[in-house]
Amino acid sequence: MLRHVLAVFILLAPGLHARQGVRIPPPFMPQMQGIDVSHHQKKIDWNALLANEPVEFAFVKATEGANFTDTLFNSNWTTLRQVGLRRGAYHFFRAYGCGEDQARHFLSTVDMQAGDLAPVLDIELLDGVPPEILVEEAKVWLQQVESQLNIKPIIYTNQHFYESFLAGHFDEYPLWIARYAQDKPVLTRGRRWQFWQYSNEGCIEGISSKVDMNVFPGTPEALEAFSWYPTIEIATEALGAP
């Protein structure tokens, strides 16, 4: 199990490659372990996973482009709520598409509940369009989702793509960086990241194929800063306003 890998890693030298290629990053104190999944992981036994692995959050693919919905999103999303694992949904961005249409598709697909992690915009392809078009349309998606949900979405990308095309454009948004290495990502301009995807070769109980592994360098209380809660609107009549 993953907890056994983590225990062994602490005792052995850095550079250990654990369980079929899973790379365990140097420990943060404190830290939380998470995964992200899509239909590529097929049907997941979430109960078996929670009973045997120290996974504390999960991101699941919801949508892609303006009209694709992940075939296992509804099942994963509902089950994660039932088993009590903190969940987040992500949208795979297609640069050739309209940001507004893609935001509308995501918002109409994902039923956010109190305590869910902020929505994620996965940006990792140019799709043959100029970088400035990608940035423009991505900003539209981010603004639409933030306006609707009143929380800043998280941007996911890999380190090379971030440095090549996104650096300097989205500094006000939380950042989730993919870098498959022992050393944590270090970004130019001193930009900090909030989540790190350190491997795409995880092998854990309840999932039949390799899975992406992530770490959040903080406590459950710190993770609350990236969690969504509905805005409570108080009617003016209740306040006795004229």
- The pLDDT value recorded for residue 188 is 86
- Domain spans of the chain? 2-6+34-219
CA angle 98, 58, 85 (to 5 degrees): 130
- The pLDDT value recorded for residue 82 is 97
- The pLDDT value recorded for residue 239 is 46
DSSP assignment of 153-173: PEEEEEHHHIIIIITTT-TTS
Distances, alpha carbon 201 to alpha carbons 123, 127, 131, 162, 204, in Å: 20, 25, 30, 22, 10
- Token pair, residue 68, equals 């694709």
Q: Report the CATH superfamily, name and number, of domain 2-6+34-219.
A: Glycosidases (3.20.20.80)
CA neighbours closer than 13 Å in the CB half-sphere of residue 130: 3
Q: In this structure, are residues 107 and 77 in contact, taking their beta carbons and an 8 Å threshold?
A: no
Residues with catalytic roles: 36, 124
Give the residue from 118, 119, 125 showing the smallest Cα distance to 104. 119
DSSP bridge partners of 23: 17
DSSP bridge partners of 86: 57
Burial class of residue 177 (count of CB atoms within 10 Å of its CB; 0-12, 13-18, 19+): buried
**Which pTM does this prediction carry?**
0.86
- Token pair, residue 147, equals 């306006």
- Token pair, residue 81, equals 């709520």
- Token pair, residue 91, equals 């949208």
Asked if omega into 30 is within 30° of 0 (cis), the reply is: yes
- The pLDDT value recorded for residue 26 is 58
Give the residue from 231, 219, 214, 221 showing the smallest Cα distance to 88. 214
Q: In this structure, are residues 102 and 93 in contact, taking their beta carbons and an 8 Å threshold?
A: yes
Reading the chain (242 residues) residue by residue, the pLDDT tens digits are: 444 344 333 332 233 233 444 555 655 567 899 999 999 999 999 999 999 999 999 999 999 999 999 999 999 999 999 999 999 999 999 999 999 999 999 999 999 999 999 999 999 999 999 999 999 999 999 999 999 999 999 999 999 999 999 999 999 999 999 999 888 999 988 899 999 999 999 999 999 999 999 999 999 999 999 999 998 654 444 444 43
Q: In this structure, are residues 120 and 90 in contact, taking their beta carbons and an 8 Å threshold?
A: yes
The number of angstroms, rounded, from the C-alpha of 79 to the middle of its chain's C-alpha atoms is 17
